[in-house]
Amino acid sequence: MNTDIRKLLEGVSDGTVSIDDALLKLKTKPFEDIGYAKVDMHRKLRQGTAEVIYGAGKTPEQIIGIAETMLKNGQNTILITRLSAETASEIGKYHPLNYYKDARCGIIGPMPVPDGSGKVVVATGGTSDIPVAEEAALTAAVLGNEVVRLYDVGVAGLHRILAHLDDIMSASVIIAIAGMEGALASVIGGLADCPVIAVPTSVGYGASFNGLSALLSMLNSCASGVSVVNIDNGFGAGYLANMINHMNVRKES
């Protein structure tokens, strides 16, 4: 924004642009630059973190196109979420790409060195929640966070979660992922002393109503410090966890 508008103002100042012309230009397009401004600022703060492409519903060609533009602009690492194995294989013909089957994610470029203020713990109630958890974990990792995975620690066997009390108590942020009754978020929220991001999953059957049960359960958590993202939204949880885990970094830069 600065450059364009500065030029315009310089034109006004030196008389090469009339006030009316400047007025018209400012009136009709004052907004588009705001976005870029934000992107710029964002980028400056944390050089080297990944950009993300939401892969669902995009053709291999579209993804390759977007990725190439990013790479040309100096982006080192790119995370592609909701990516099928077939599309990943297509993309792999053009760019080296690590494909993570469970998470249905692909990553172009190197993983960054973690630089957050602590660890992001990703916990799941059962093994069926792992695909969502891996999407969250990879997202957090690719954005520069150390990730600790605690899988299959559902509340029906409390000893499983309690055996990892150290991880929970020393976490910077916790992502609690569960389908069915979604009680994991409350139990972890009660044990932990850090923000807990709850992710309901569509795992289950019958009255789980494709994640509605877990969603309502998590929204009603009686533990403080728990908030919720959309059903199966591993990426959203990983992204938010990264934001929270980089509060220091962001503030200091």
**Burial status of residue 165 (CB atoms within 10 A of its CB: 0-12, 13-18, 19 or more):** exposed
- Of residues 172 through 201, those in contact with a copy of itself by CB under 8 A are 172, 179-183, 185-187, 189-191, 193-195, 197, 200
Angle (CA) 225-170-242 rounded to 5° is 65
Neighbour count for residue 247 (Cβ, 10 Å): 13
Judged by CB under 8 A, the stretch of 72-80, 88-96, 104-112, 228-236 that binds a copy of itself is 228-236
Query: Which among 1-9, 65-73, 93-101, 106-114 is the span making contact with a copy of itself, rule CB under 8 A?
Result: 1-9
| Interacting residue with a copy of itself among 125, 135, 140, 176 (CB under 8 A) | 125
Kindly state the smallest distance separating residue 99's Cβ from a copy of itself, in Å.
Answer: 19
Question: What whole-number distance in Å separates Cα of residue 80 and Cα of residue 118?
Answer: 25
Q: Rule CB under 8 A: which of 206-225 touch a copy of itself?
A: 206-209, 211-225
| CA-wise closest residue to 148 among 114, 177, 184, 121 | 121
Q: How many residues bind a copy of itself (CB under 8 A)?
A: 105
Contact call for residues 77 and 108 (beta carbons, < 8 A):
yes
In eight-state DSSP terms, residue 110 is: P
In the structure encoding, which two tokens stand for residue 198, read together? 């709850």
Residue 218 Cβ, how far from a copy of itself at the closest point, in Å? 7
Residue 142 Cβ, how far from a copy of itself at the closest point, in Å? 14
**H-run or E-run covering 198:** strand 196-200
146-150 and 119-124: which strand pairing?
parallel
Rank residues 20 and 93 by Cβ distance to a copy of itself and give the closer one: 20
The residue from 76, 84, 98, 227 that contacts a copy of itself (CB under 8 A) is 227
Three-class SS state of 177 = strand
Tokens of 110: 């190197």
**Interacting span for a copy of itself (CB under 8 A) from 72-80, 87-95, 104-112, 232-240:** 232-240
What's the gap between Cα 108 and its chain centre? 16
> In the window 148-167, what residues touch a copy of itself (CB under 8 A)?
154-163, 165-166
User: Helix, strand or coil for residue 143?
Assistant: coil
The 24-63 contact track toward a copy of itself, x by CB under 8 A, reads --xxxxxxxxxxxxx--xx--------------x------
Q: Is residue 72 close enough to count as binding a copy of itself by CB under 8 A? A: no
Whole-number minimum distance, CB 94 to a copy of itself, in Å?
A: 21
Q: Where does this chain touch a copy of itself (CB under 8 A) — which range of 15-23, 70-78, 94-102, 104-112?
A: 15-23
Candidate list 2, 47, 59, 69; residue touching a copy of itself; CB under 8 A: 2
- Spatial contact of 218 and 184, defined as CB atoms under 8 Å apart: no
Identify residue 9 by its one-letter amino acid code. L
Q: Judged by CB under 8 A, which of 60, 112, 126, 144 binds a copy of itself?
A: 126
